[in-house]
Structure 1
C-alpha cells in the first residue's frame, strides 16, 4: 500500500554531492524540502533522474537533522568573519538541538564560551585560519606547537601532552624559586652498582656528584650558571630523544615533524651544537641498510664525489644495538658495530667488545675466537685485553660445547642451547692459550688456568643448566707424553709471539687429542709457575680442576720438582688454601666420594719429594680431625688397604700418619 498524501508532503530527498564547493550550504549534504515545488511533485513520477548528477531517486523519506557544526546549520543562518570574537555576529548565537561548537567539539548548548566576549565560539567556522588554529589548540593542547595534524594525535600523544603541560608547570615553579635564590636540597641517590664500576662510569653514582656541581653553580649567578646548566639539560634531553627515534616505530610524518620542531627551537649560542643532534639516520637509510645486510663492510660510500661515513653518536649506537639484540639479529649487530664510527671511542670500544659473544650466538665460534684476539681497527687493542676471568671461562665453555646462554648477555643466568659445532680440541687450546698470553691479569689468575684445565678435561656435551660433564681420560703411553712435551716448548713460545701458529703432529693425534691438549696445558701451567709464581694467589683450585685425571696432575707436580723454589712456593700455596678452606674441602670431598679422596691422597703421599708429601699429610689430618663430617672415611681406609699404601716406602712421617689413620677404623 503506497504512502498517503500527508506522508508524501513530509518526505524529503537527500542528494550527496562529490564537490563540497558546489554545495550552497558549504557542506557535502543537500536537503530537498518536499514543501517546495519540485519536479518530483509536478511530474508525479515514482522515479526522478537528475541528468546532470546522473542520480536516480528511488526512495524518499523525511529528512533527519544530523549533528553538525553551527556554520552548517540549515535552520539558523550564519555569518562568516575571519576572527571576530567581540560579540556574536547576526544570529550566530542561535542554535538548534544538533548544533556543535567548532572549537570545543561538543554541543553548542554545553559550550561555556559560546557568547563570551573576546572568545565567542559561536562565530567560529572552518574557512578561517584564526578559528582553525583555535580549534587545533583546543583539541591538541600543547601538542599544537609540534605542528601536528589532528589525525597524528592518538591516545598516547594526548597523554604525553598532558605530562608535558604538567612538567612545564612544575618547571616554572622551580625556576621561580631559583630566581629568588631559594636553595633546593639535591635528591639523594643510593648506589646499587654491582659489580662496582670505575669512577665516572656509573650513572647512579654520577648523580651523587651532581650535588657538588649544584653547589658550585649556586655561586656563579643566574647567567653564568645557566650557561653550564642548559647544555647539561639539553644533553640529557637529546640523549633520550635520540634513543626514542631509534627504538620507537614512529610514522614517518610524525618523525619528520618531531625533528623539524626541535630544529626550529631558538637555542643560545653556546648550545648551537645541539641543533642537529636529532639528525638520526633512519632505519631505511641506504648506507645503514647496506651495512646491516653485509653489502658494505666499511661503513662508507662515495656520494657526489665525497666520502660519506656511517657516523653516529654513542646513544644512537647503543639504541640500535639494543633493538637489534632484542630482535635476535646478531649478524646485523656485528656488521653494524664493525662499520659504524663514533667520536666516543671508549664507549664504542666497550660495545665492540661484545662482538665475539654475538658471533657465538650465531654459531660462528671460530670467528668469535679470532675476534677476541684481533681488534676491529689497527688503532685499538683487542678484546682479549679486557675480558674478565669469568668471561674467559664462559667463552671456553661455548667454544668447547657449541652452546650459548639464551640471555642477551653472557653473564646472565639461564638455560643454554646448542647453536653450532664446537671448536676442535687443538684449535680450542691454541686460542685459549693465546687469550691468556694477551692478558696479563688473566695469565696470573689461577681461576683462568683452572677453567682451561677443567674444560679440556670435559666432554663437549653441555646440559641446559650449563653444567659440563668431566671426562676420565686414560693415561697415555709415556712415549706419547714425552713426544707432546717435547713439541710443547716451541709451540708455546710461538703462541706468545706469532699470530698464525700450526699445531705439531703430536698434538693433532686423532686418537689421543684430548690427552695431548691436556698435556699441552700442563706444560703451559708449568711455564707460568716458573715465571710468575710470586703473582699467584692460589694453586689448589688448579689442582682440583684436573678432576679424575690424576696422571696429568702428577705430570705437572713431577716437573715442578726440577726447580726447588717453585716446588716450595707451590706447596706452600696449596697448604695455605687447605688451611683456609677446610669446611669447603670437607663438603667437596663429601660430594666427590672416597675414591677421589683416596686417589688425591695417594698422589701426594707417594711423591718422591718430601715437601710434596706434606700436602697429603695435611689433608689426612683434616679428615682425621673431622671424622664426624666424613662418614665415607671408613671406605677411604679400605682404599688404602687395596692400594697397599701401608706397605709402600713413604717415609717415616707419611708411614706413621697412614698407619695411625688405618688403626682408627680397625679398632671400631
Structure 2
C-alpha cells in the first residue's frame, strides 16, 4: 500500500495486510468515532467497566487511513473476476484515501482508473486476473521469472530495469538486421558453365543482388550488455543474463540461403557464441553465489522454459547444475563415496558436471580452505573437457600439502588418477619441482591459494623423512625426461638436501655447512646405493639402507647419493644439458661433496671435457650475474670455490678456476672484496702448491695485484 499520511491532531489506527489469507476482504480496520460533543465532555472523565476492569481515560475521533478501493467504507464496491470493459456500479467513485490495487498509488493519480479495456477501478484482491495485473505492474519484466513479490529486492529490480531498456534497444537493432543490406550490382565474372561475359549472366546477377543480413550490430549490443551484467550484483546479473538469453534465442535468420559472414556476422554462429558466454557465467554464479533456494530453482526453470532454436540445442541442459546439498555431491565431499557413482532404482548415476561448474566448485572450496573436499571432488567428478579437468587435478598434490599430508602429496605426483594416462609429474615445471621439494623438506607451504605465490609460508605438518624425501625426489626426476635433463631441477635437488628443515617465513631455506665425513663412510654409501638408483629408475619400490642413512650422518649420506645420481645423469644425458654451473653452485659450502663429484667425472675423458666446456660457457655468458652472486656470497666462499678448481689434479678442471680468476681481475672495480680473496689464496699456500706452470703464474700474478690494492 502507498505511504501513510499523518497529522498532529489525528491518531494512528490499525491496517491489516491486504494480501493475508486470514482477512475478510478488508485492508482497513475502522474504529467507530464518538460524537465530538460527547468527546469533549468526557475527555477528563474516567469510565470504569467493573466487570472487565477496563479504564478508558481518553478517546479521539478515528482517521481513515489509505486503503484499497474495494475496502472503502464510504463507497460500495462490486466484485467480478476480470471485467475491464467499463466501471461497474459505483466502483469509479473514490474517497481521498482510496488506492488503486494495480498501480499501488492514489486512485486519483491512476491514469487507467476508468480507461476502457483497462478499468483499474474494478480491481480487487480476490481475482487471479487482477492479481496477475498487479504483479506485472509491480514486478515489471521480472514477472516472466515467476517471482513472488516477496522475492523481489532492490538488486532484482535494478537488473529488471536494465533488462527492459536492453530489450527496447535490442528490438530496434534487430529490426535493422531484418531489413538487411542490398549490395550494389557489379560486373562480376560468370561462374556458370555457360561462362557468359561479366554482367550478362542473370543467375550470377541475381546472386549479386542478394540481400545480406549482418548480425554484427546485434552481437555488439548484446556483448556490451553482457559486459555490463558482469559488473552488477549477482541477482541483477542473473536476471540480465537470463533475459538476454531468451531474447537472442527468438531471433531468426531471414536469409533464404546460408550466408557465411563470420563469427559475429552470421546469426547461427553468433547466437551460440553469445549463449556459450551466458551459460558459462550462469553456471559459475549458481555455484558461487548463495541464491535463496526458491530463486535458484526459478532461474533454472526459466532457462529450461526457453524454446531453443536448432542451432542452440546443445545448450538445453546447460543450467542443470546440481545444488550443493545434492545427495551424490555431498557424499563425495564427505568422503563417503570415492568413485562419484551410485545406483538408484537399478540405474547408475555419475557425478558428471560441466567444466565451468567444476572450476567454480573448486574455487569456492579453496576459498573456504576445504582442501580435503577439493581432493575428494576432483578425484570423483567426470567432465567432457578432459584437458581442463586434468589441469585442475594436477593441483591435487598441492592441496595435499596444504593439509599437511606430504606423503600422499608425493605419491599423487607419481601415480595417475583413474582415467588419466600419465601422472602429474610429467607436467610440472622445474620451479614447481623446487617448491614441492621445499614443502616436503620443511613441512611448510605457501600461505596463498597457489603454490607459486610470493607471499609468506606457514607450517602445515611434519615434513618427510630424509629417506622418503630423496626417494620421491629421484622418482620425480626419473619419471619426467624434461625434469631429468633440466639443470635447475638437479640444482634444486642438491640445494634442498643440503639445507635445514627450518624455513624462513619468506620461503628461504637455511643452507647447511656439513663437515666432510670419513672416506670409508663415503665409500660405503657409494657401494650400498650403486644399484638403488637403477631400481628407482625401473620404478621398483626400494628402501634405503637404514645403517647408512642413520640420524648421525644422514644429511651427508643424502648428499653422497645426490652426487652419485648427478654423475649417472651426466654419463647418460650430458649432451642434453644447457648448463652445469648452477649444479656446482647448489652444493653451497659443502665443497667436499662437489669435489667428490668432480673426481668421479675425471674417470671419463669425454664427460670431463663436456662438463668443463659447459662451466666455461656459463662463466663467459653470465659474468655480471656471477660477480653479483659472489658479492653476496662473500670472499670466503669465492676463495674456497676457486681453490677447489685450482687444486684439481686434472688440468682441464684448473682451467675453470683460472677463467674465474681472470673475470675477477678484469672487474676489480666491481670486486671490493678481491683483496680479501688474495689473502685467502696466500694463506692457503697456493703459491707453493704444485699447480703447474700456467696456474702457478696466474695465481701469483693475482696475489701480487691484490697486495697493491
Common topology (TM > 0.5):
yes
Say which SS state the counterpart of residue 115 (structure 1) adopts: coil
Alignment of 1:301-312 (within 5 A): 301-312=342-353
What is the alpha-carbon distance in structure 2 between the residues aligned to residue 221 and residue 645 of structure 1?
76
Whether 2:674 is the aligned partner of 1:615: answer: no
Cα RMSD of the aligned pairs, angstroms, is 3.1
Residues 12 and 31 in structure 1, CA contact (< 8 A), matched pair in contact too: no
Match runs of 1:489-528 below 5 Å:
489-505=530-546, 507-528=548-569
Partner SS, residue 646 of structure 1: coil
**After alignment, is 618-627 or 128-137 more displaced?**
128-137
Encode CA deviations 1:612-664: one digit per residue, 9 max, x unaligned. 11110000001111111111111111101111111000011110000000111
**1:143 alignment counterpart:** 142
Contact 1:605 1:612 in 2 (8 A): yes
How far apart in 1 are the matches of 2:152 and 2:63?
32
Secondary structure in 1 aligned to 2:529? helix
Match of 1:400 in 2: 441
Contact 2:13/2:65, CA 8 A, preserved across alignment? no
The residue aligned with 1:448 is: 489
**1:131–1:606: structure 2 CA closer, same or farther, 3 Å change rule?**
same
Q: Is this contact kept in 1: 2:280–2:356, CA < 8 A?
A: yes
- Checking the alignment, whether the CA contact within 8 Å between 1:444 and 1:535 is kept in structure 2 is yes
Give the drift of 1:23: 7.1
What is the 5 A alignment of 1:82-101?
82-101=81-100
Tell whether the 8 Å contact from 2:18 to 2:26 is kept in structure 1 after alignment: no
Of 357-366 and 305-314, more deviation after overlay is shown by 305-314
**Counterpart of 2:372?**
331
User: For residue 633 of structure 1, what is the aligned residue in structure 2?
Assistant: 674
User: Aligned residue for 1:175?
Assistant: 174
Question: Structure 1 residues 272-281 or 327-336, which shifts more?
Answer: 272-281
* SS state at 1:151 partner: coil
Note the 1:355-394 alignment, pairs <5 A.
355-377=396-418, 379-394=420-435
620 and 62 in structure 1: CA distance in 2 versus 1, 3 angstrom threshold: same
User: Is the contact made by 1:297 and 1:335 (CA closer than 8 Å) also made in structure 2?
Assistant: yes
Q: Is the aligned partner of 1:81 residue 2:80?
A: yes
Deviations 1:567-605 (A, max 9, x none): 111111111111111111111111111100000100000
1:64 alignment partner in structure 2 = 63
Aligned equivalents of 1:223, 1:452: Cα separation in 2 = 52
Question: CA offset at residue 490 of structure 1?
Answer: 0.8
Matches of 2:12 and 2:617, distance apart in 1: 106
* Maintained 8 Å contact 1:291/1:336: yes
1:315 aligned residue: 356
1:576-595 superposed matches below 5 A: 576-595=617-636
Residue of structure 2 in register with 1:158 after alignment: 157
Check the 8 A contact 1:298/1:339 in 2, yes or no: yes
- In structure 2, C-alpha distance between the alignment counterparts of 1:665 and 1:221, rounded to whole Å: 73
Cα 1:275–1:184 change in 2 (3 A) is closer
Distance 2:300 2:16 in 1: 41
Partner residue in 1 for 2:278:
237
Per-residue CA distance 1:298-348 (angstroms, 9 max, x = gap): 111221122222111111111111110000000110111111112221111
Deviation at 1:134, TM superposition (A): 1.6
Q: C-alpha separation between the residues in 2 aligned to 1:431 and 1:628? A: 46
Specify the alignment match of 2:252 in structure 1. Answer: none
Cα deviations by residue, 1:404-431 (Å, 9 ceiling, x for unpaired): 1111111122111011011111111111
TM-aligned CA distance change 1:264 to 1:585, over 3 Å: same
Q: What residue is the counterpart of 1:197 in the other structure? A: none
Change (3 A) 1:98 1:427: same
Counterpart residue number, 1:533? 574
SS at match of 2:83: coil
Tell me the SS of whatever aligns to 1:317.
Answer: helix
Cα 1:570–1:169, aligned 2, differ >3 Å: closer, same or farther?
A: farther
SS in 2 for 1:376: coil
Shifted more, 620-629 versus 306-315: the winner is 306-315
Mapped contact 1:12–1:60 kept (Cα < 8 A):
no
User: Deviations for 1:75-103, whole angstroms, at most 9, x for unmatched residues?
Assistant: 22223333333443333333223222222
2 CA distance for matches of 1:596 and 1:283?
A: 58
> Residue 302 of structure 1: SS of its match in structure 2?
strand
- Per-residue deviation, 1:20: 7.9
Q: Contact conserved, 2:214 with 2:261, CA < 8 A, in 1? A: no
Residues 1:563 and 2:604 aligned together: yes
Q: The residue matched to 1:160 in structure 2 has which SS?
A: helix
Hey, what's the Cα distance between the residues in 2 that align with 1:579 and 1:141? 75
1:246 equivalenced with 2:246 (yes/no):
no
Gaps of 5+ in 2: 1-9, 36-45, 181-212, 224-256
Q: Counterparts of 1:429 and 1:217 in 2: how far apart (Å)?
A: 64
1:478 and 1:660 map into 2 onto residues whose CA distance is 35
Is contact 2:16–2:26 with CA below 8 Å preserved after alignment? no
- In the alignment, which residue of structure 1 is the partner of 2:109? 110
Q: CA–CA distance in 2 between the matches of 1:412 and 1:156? A: 35
Segment drifting more, 635-644 vs 235-244: 235-244
Deviation of residue 272 (structure 1)? 3.3
Q: Distance in 1 between matches of 2:654 and 2:15?
A: 110
Q: Which runs of 5+ in 1 are unaligned?
A: 1-9, 36-43, 190-215
Distance apart, 1:123 and its partner CA: 2.6
Moved more, 92-101 or 325-334: 92-101
Task: After superposition, give the CA deviation of every residue in 1:273-305 in whole Å (9 maximum; x if it has no partner).
Answer: 422222211111111111111111111122112
What is the rounded CA distance, in whole Å, between the counterparts of 1:513 and 1:661 in structure 2? 40
- Contact 1:245 1:280 (8 Å CA) reproduced: yes
Of stretches 482-491 and 353-362 in structure 1, the one that deviates more from structure 2 is: 482-491
Deviates more, 1:126-135 or 1:145-154: 126-135
Q: Distance in 2 between matches of 1:17 and 1:631?
A: 89
Distance of aligned partners of 1:391 and 1:21 in 2 relative to their CA distance in 1, 3 Å threshold: closer
Residue in 2 that maps onto 1:419? 460
The SS at the match of 2:70 is: helix
Q: TM-score, normalised by structure 2?
A: 0.82
User: Does the CA-based 8 Å contact 1:246-1:316 persist in structure 2?
Assistant: yes
Q: Secondary structure at the match of 1:450?
A: helix
Q: Assess, with a 3 A threshold, how the Cα gap between structure 1 residues 14 and 334 changes in structure 2: closer, same or farther.
A: closer
SS in 1 for 2:445: strand
Deviates more, 1:20-29 or 1:168-177: 20-29
Report the Cα offset of residue 561 of structure 1.
0.8
| Inter-partner Cα distance in structure 2 for 1:264 and 1:48 | 66
Secondary structure class of the residue paired with 2:299: helix
In structure 2, the residue corresponding to 1:150 is in which secondary structure? coil
Q: Is residue 430–residue 489 contact of structure 2 (8 Å, CA) maintained in 1?
A: yes
**1:483–1:506 CA contact under 8 A, matched in 2:** no
Report 1:482-493 matches (<5 A). Answer: 482-493=523-534
Q: How many pairs are equivalent?
A: 622
Give 3-state SS (helix, strand or coil) of 2:675's partner.
helix
Contact 1:484 1:506 in 2 (8 A): no
Question: What is aligned with 2:705?
Answer: 664
Q: 1:542 to 1:249 in 2, by over 3 A?
A: same
Preserved contact between residue 11 and residue 60 of structure 1 (Cα < 8 Å): no
